[in-house]
Amino acid sequence: MSHTFRSLRSRAALTCALLVAPLIAGLSGCGGSPDPLSAKPYDAADQISFSGDGDDRKADPDKPLEVTAKGDDSRITDVTATDAAGRYVRGELADDGKHWRSTVPLAAGAHYTLKVSTEDSNGAPGRRTVDFTTSSARRLLKVTFGPKAGQYGVGQPVTAKLSRPVKDPKARAVIERALKVDSRPAVEGVWHWVDSRTLHYRPQEYWPAHATITVHSNLKGIRIGGGLYGGGAKSLRLTTGDRLEALTDSGTHQMTVKRNGVPIRTIPITTGMPGFDTRNGIKVVLAKESAVRMTGASIGLGAGSYDLMVHWAARVTKSGEYVHAAPWSTGSQGAANVSHGCTGMSTANAEWFFNTVRLGDIVQVVHSDGEDMAPFGNGYGDWNMAWADWRKGSAVAAGQPDATPADSARLRPQV
């Protein structure tokens, strides 16, 4: 049995050898014709030119990058241009392969790597790789984000201050797209142009409690328009604490303070008397001063009307509206409005409020005969603007459908 197996195996081996031999002979016959796909590209330096060539001069970022094939015996087959971060520059290649031109602006003061593939009249591939830089911008737009890094209440807007005024809608859109705000948990927000040098960013509702908000700019080196380029910007990281809201009811003379939606204290208060009515609306704590001097002269009264050192003062407007201790009005607190616009309470309650709130926490006044809090110019009244109107102040979001239904009425988040 084993002898028979060896004979079969020998015949099989011989058959395979006979089949392989012609195959090897056929391969040997093709050895003189190299595969054109495996050919090593030749140096195409003499066959192309580009707009950054010569005398170590830098490319002009205000002009498109252009690559041209020289002579009649070569054509461009592919062009890639990338910056130091690996981002590609889009461009268009002419149908005849003689010219390639970038279709997006180059960044100023940036390093690029240009790779050009060619072929000659015989189809042989060529390659040229060039590193070049663009010249620095003569006019830079710098951005400063605010507020300072730290922990804030859920009502704190993000701000961006520009070093130069920008009015052109297209330039504003370039800037907005480069200013990035991310939060965890994620919420949708929009930039709003307060004026030509100031932007505010907020979500539709308050920030989530215990969120992390990061802000950075991708504007550096980007062409904005009119010879203006983006400059550097220091990134910003904010966090929020509990959702703390104080509802100040001028009609009932009570303040209800809630933490994460749960009432934690009700405080008898007094607000502005007729003629000095406290502003209605949503305000944000701007500052905390354990002692501040208040005078009648600062609000247009006679120099001798009053001059007091006030304690445990939380400021909510730039014009001087505070929540503070008012021991001189304890008889009216919870019963009548007798202040010159501030919200007064007992010293003990004011000290508790002062130690409980942080910058960015919400103070909302209702049922006052005063004017409405302005969205801008007197502190952070941003939340008094309806979301649909807020989006209209964006150069990017204006006119685009919102992911959530817009509130056409005045925004008044419930506290």
Q: Do residues 128 and 119 lie in contact, with contact meaning Cβ atoms separated by under 8 Å?
A: no
Beta-bridged to residue 118, according to DSSP, are 76, 126
Helix (H) or strand (E) holding 388: helix 387-392
Structure tokens at 125: 């591939």
Helix/strand/coil for 227: coil
Q: Nearest 5 degrees, angle CA 327-CA 331-CA 332?
A: 100
Q: Nearest 5 degrees, angle CA 395-CA 401-CA 405?
A: 120
Rounded Cα–Cα distance for residues 157 and 198 (Å): 12
User: Which residues are part of the catalytic machinery?
Assistant: 324, 342
Residue with tokens 């400059």: 231
CA 349, 351, 352, 354: dihedral to nearest 10 degrees?
120
Pick from 386, 281, 270: nearest CA to 335: 270
Beta-bridged to residue 322, according to DSSP, are 315
Per DSSP, the chain holds a count of helices (H) and strands (E) of 4, 28
Q: Do residues 138 and 91 lie in contact, with contact meaning Cβ atoms separated by under 8 Å?
A: no
- Strand bridging mode 99-102 / 66-69: antiparallel
